Structure 1
Amino acid sequence: MSEPPPRPPQRVRVTAPRTGVPAASARPSIARGRPGAGSDVDAMYVRSLIRSQLRLALVCAGGFVVATVVFVVAVALLPALDETFVAGVPVSWLLLGLGVYPLAITVAALYVRAAQRNEARYRSLAEQA
């Protein structure tokens, strides 16, 4: 006699995580383990960080807009740029194409660097408090 074929494994239904169980944090909180964690001082530091990041974003965006407008105005006020060609492409197009994109990348890199510096200052202040 032959043995019966093996049965497939039992199906298991995966559902949402258990309720009532505290979720494990991926990163430890800065405030965790300190006396008075979650105090008004912590809230003040967070508000300060948010304000400084917003101010930085507005300055970077404003600078990018101003520089882009300068490019566009220069192209509009200098019609000779449309009449001059390099490799079959008007110089005005090259100025906009090769000028605006590096500007955007530079502004983005400066923003990221300054934002990281703001966050490092926040971390050092939060650890001292």
Structure 2
Amino acid sequence: MSGARRVKVTSPQTRLALARGHRRHPQLLPLPAPADAEAARAVFAAQRRTALRTVALLGVALFGSSGAVAVWPSLDRISVGGVPVSWLVLVFATYPVLLLLAVHHVRRAERVEDRHDAGGAGGGS
């Protein structure tokens, strides 16, 4: 095995692309102005507060639905169509709430960006 030479195997498309030599040189993006950086920090901080609120509400929704099942153990004994009501509560109460939380969070995050852009704090791109 010591005399065997390793061979690099590439796809024909890769060989063609390398033969063309049209490699783009990476261009560095310009550094933002201090005002743009400050505006970006403000947007990031506002979106972080929104995210923390959303995570808190997510915890309330998840632990609340599980807590409801724990508080009312009789939900396990009642069935609808052979399925315990406790499962139905977890499925049909929790997932729509999660979806609403996600939609609400995205809208609030976008509103924060729009408010900062409209206020002239965003950097005109």
Query: What TM-score does the superposition give when structure 1 sets the normalisation length?
Result: 0.71
* Structure 2 equivalent of residue 17 of structure 1: 23
Written as runs of structure 1 = structure 2, the 5 A alignment for 1:85-124 is 85-124=79-118
* Structure 2 equivalent of residue 40 of structure 1: 34
Is 1:68 the counterpart of 2:71 in the alignment?
A: no
> Alpha-carbon deviations, 1:56-93, whole Å to 9, x = none?
11110110111211111110111111111111101000
Q: Distance in 1 between matches of 2:54 and 2:87?
A: 24
Structure 1 unaligned spans of 5+? 1-11, 26-31
CA contact (8 A) 2:36 2:123 kept: no
**Which segments of structure 1 move beyond 6 Å, counting only runs of 4 or more?**
none
Q: Distance in 2 between matches of 1:99 and 1:54?
A: 27
**Structure of larger gyration radius:** 1
Percent of aligned pairs sharing the same letter: 32
**Considering only aligned residues, what root-mean-square deviation do their CA atoms show, in Å?**
2.5
* Structure 2 equivalent of residue 59 of structure 1: 53
Q: Distance in 2 between matches of 1:92 and 1:60?
A: 25
CA contact (8 A) 2:79 2:85 kept: yes
Structure 1 residue 127, shift from structure 2 partner: 5.7
Q: Distance in 2 between matches of 1:18 and 1:70?
A: 54
Query: What TM-score does the superposition give when structure 2 sets the normalisation length?
Result: 0.73
Structure 2 unaligned spans of 5+? 1-14
Structure 1 residue 52, shift from structure 2 partner: 1.0
